[in-house]
Amino acid sequence: MPDVIVVGGGVVGLLSAWLLGQEGARVTLLERGETGREASWAGGGIVSPLYPWRYSRAVANLAHWSQDFYPQLGQRLLADTGVDPEVHVTGLYWLDLEDQAEALEWARVNHRPLHEVDIDSVRAAVPALGEGFGRAVHMPDVANVRNPRLTRSLREALGAMPNVTLREGCEVDGFIESAGSILGVRTSQGDIRSESVVLAAGAWSGELLAKLGLELPVEPVKGQMILYKCDADFLSSMVLAKGRYAIPRRDGHILVGSTLEHAGFDKTPTDEALASLRASAEELLPALAGQQPIRHWAGLRPGSPEGIPFIGPVPGHSGLWLNTGHYRNGLVLAPASCRLLVDLMQGREAIIDPLPYAPEGRI
């Protein structure tokens, strides 16, 4: 019997399993499809909330810990697996913010390196940037991670751990429960028992928890993105304006996103979103005008109240733990969220105050 079953093979599930495996736990990770192919694949990978000053302290605490941890995580996974997650420090320019004063005050209070910069210096640093922008703030140390490669490297790392079992194509459709305790899960391949179960199923977590009669306020929020291929030196920094961003990869791929849509579990890309994203891309980077995106896709974020994830034990259901509901910041918050979860499961002092994320009182 495994010590822990992790339900969900996105970045949060993969990283939870990896950290638990490092603690010596016997772990079985269950994914109904392929690992890393849902929101973790679809996102942009900016290692920062899009507007960090607009979030609560709870989100900021997770984000700051993760931002500091990502470089060493990338180096460790590359060394262990040969797959480079490409933690790429480019910096990020926010353009023409309506709440620029609030952003700068947040940076001062939180000791974050966000500063107002002259727009001419931005144009010198980012020659591809479009005209029409008048103000900017800059955070030079913001990175992006190439999320499909991050999840692939985590999958490779798990595959090399003798105490971790990865089962893809195995859909969880319920829980084994007795006298208020969760003793495992029911799956398309039969029952699997364990001492603990971690639910990290992203946008699908609420549906699974409903099978226990619990209402988890996590719902799918659709996001669409497009991808261009340019020269490797086309865009030197991430840029963000009017809620849309452009992210450069090291090899010249440029991601532009994203939409926010409440469309249930529908992941169909739409022509309307494509037109809107292309217009944003061409406003930010006029050289993209007339260039066809090489890809267009959609993913489902696990929306939650205020974007605060649920991390910790489920009250009244001994043995069941949550690590879900990261909304737009799953890749940003994953390292800290998973470390916090493992700290709680091990009964040791947590990296940050766990109370804001506790399921108790929230479901």
Confidence band of 1 (pLDDT split at 50, 70, 90): low
pLDDT at residue 229 in the model: 98
Percent of the chain with pLDDT over 90: 99
Q: Is 92-140+219-303 assigned to CATH 3.30.9.10?
A: yes
CA dist 283 and 157 (Å) reads 40
CA dist 60 and 75 (Å) reads 24
Residue pLDDT, tens place only, 170-218: 999 999 999 999 999 999 999 999 999 999 999 999 999 999 999 999 9
pLDDT at residue 301 in the model: 97
CA dist 149 and 295 (Å) reads 17
Q: Name the 3-class secondary structure at 202.
A: helix
CA dist 267 and 171 (Å) reads 19
Q: Is 4-54+148-218+305-357 assigned to CATH 3.50.50.60?
A: yes
Instruction: Work out whether strand 181-187 and strand 172-178 pair parallel, antiparallel, or are unpaired.
Output: antiparallel
Mean pLDDT score of the chain: 97
Residue 156 pLDDT exceeds 70? yes
- Compute the average pLDDT of residues 161-175: 97
Q: Which amino acid is at 163?
A: N
Give 76-113 as a DSSP string: HHHHHHS-----EE--EEEES-TTHHHHHHHHHHHT--
pLDDT at residue 7 in the model: 98
CA dist 222 and 259 (Å) reads 7
- Region(s) of the chain under CATH 3.50.50.60: 4-54+148-218+305-357
- Compute the average pLDDT of residues 110-136: 96
CB-CB contact of 88 with 146 (8 Å): yes
Residue pLDDT, tens place only, 49-71: 999 999 999 999 999 999 999 99
CA dist 31 and 33 (Å) reads 6
- Compute the average pLDDT of residues 210-229: 98
Q: Which two tokens stand for residue 138?
A: 């800059």
pLDDT at residue 242 in the model: 96
Residue 33 phi/psi, 5-degree rounding, is -115, -120
Residue 230 pLDDT exceeds 80? yes
Residue 134 pLDDT exceeds 80? yes
pTM of the model: 0.96
pLDDT at residue 18 in the model: 98
Q: Name the 3-class secondary structure at 134.
A: coil
pLDDT at residue 159 in the model: 97
Residues 6+ apart with CB under 8 A from 207: none
Residue 328 pLDDT exceeds 80? yes
- H helix intervals, the chain: 11-22, 39-42, 57-81, 100-110, 119-125, 147-159, 205-209, 271-284, 330-346
CA dist 134 and 203 (Å) reads 38
Confidence band of 290 (pLDDT split at 50, 70, 90): confident
- Region(s) of the chain under CATH 3.30.9.10: 92-140+219-303
Torsion on CA atoms 75, 80, 82, 85, rounded to nearest 10: -40
Q: Which two tokens stand for residue 63?
A: 């984000």
The dihedral built from the CA positions of residue 6, 11, 14 and 18, taken in this order, carries a sign that is: negative
Q: Which amino acid is at 318?
A: S
Q: In whole angstroms, how large is the CA radius of gyration of the chain? A: 20
CA dist 324 and 310 (Å) reads 5
